[in-house]
Amino acid sequence: MQKLRPFHLAIPVQNLEEARNFYRNTLELQEGRSDKQWVDFDFFGHQLVIHEDQNAHQNSKVSNIVDGKTVPIPHFGILLDWDEFHNFSEMLRIKKIKFQVEPYIRFQGEVGEQATMFFYDSSGNALEFKAFKDEQQIFAK
């Protein structure tokens, strides 16, 4: 398998300063370069760029039902390690983040057991953070 390389993802935000505050202070991501209309963040070793677009749509409320929970589409996120996920979710609870899907365990005791949670940023972009109990099972059937 080829070594994984950091990804680059650019997303629209309606208000650059609100979004900057969310990613920097709520998610506690390190800020990188910036300009009048965009800001780079270290998204767990990947490059996330927020670009101001005042016409960016709030989330469209498109979703699928997964495990009886409403999962927003589209969404993006990251796979954390098990302990990091639980520490991160506890930090978000303390900050009183409004979850779309509260942190919970899927497939408990089964192949692909994973922790997951969903929430929106200040512009309505949906994020998912998850962790696999056994990272060897990320692509297991």
pLDDT digits (tens, 9 = 90+) for 107-126: 999 999 999 999 999 999 99
- CA diameter of the chain: 48
Burial of residue 25, with CB atoms counted within 10 A of its CB: 0-12 exposed, 13-18 middle, 19 or more buried: exposed
pLDDT digits (tens, 9 = 90+) for 14-63: 999 999 999 999 999 999 999 999 999 999 999 999 999 987 766 567 88
Q: How confident is the prediction for the chain on average, in pLDDT?
A: 93
Per-residue pLDDT, averaged over 58-73, amounts to 83
Let me know if residue 109 belongs to a domain: yes
Let me know if residue 13 belongs to a domain: yes
pLDDT of 1 above 80: no
Let me know if residue 47 belongs to a domain: yes
Let me know if residue 49 belongs to a domain: yes
How does residue 10 score in pLDDT terms, banded at 50, 70 and 90? Answer: very high
Let me know if residue 98 belongs to a domain: yes
CATH code, domain with 90 = 3.10.180.10
Instruction: Give residue 2's pLDDT.
Output: 75
Let me know if residue 3 belongs to a domain: no
Task: Label residue 68 left, alpha or beta by phi (over 0 means left) and psi (-120 to 50 means alpha).
Answer: left
Cα 58 from Cα 120, distance rounded (Å): 10
Number of domains making up the chain: 1
Let me know if residue 74 belongs to a domain: yes
pLDDT of 74 above 60: yes
Instruction: Give residue 60's pLDDT.
Output: 63
Let me know if residue 61 belongs to a domain: yes
Instruction: Give residue 23's pLDDT.
Output: 98
The residue segments making up the domain with residue 106 are 8-137
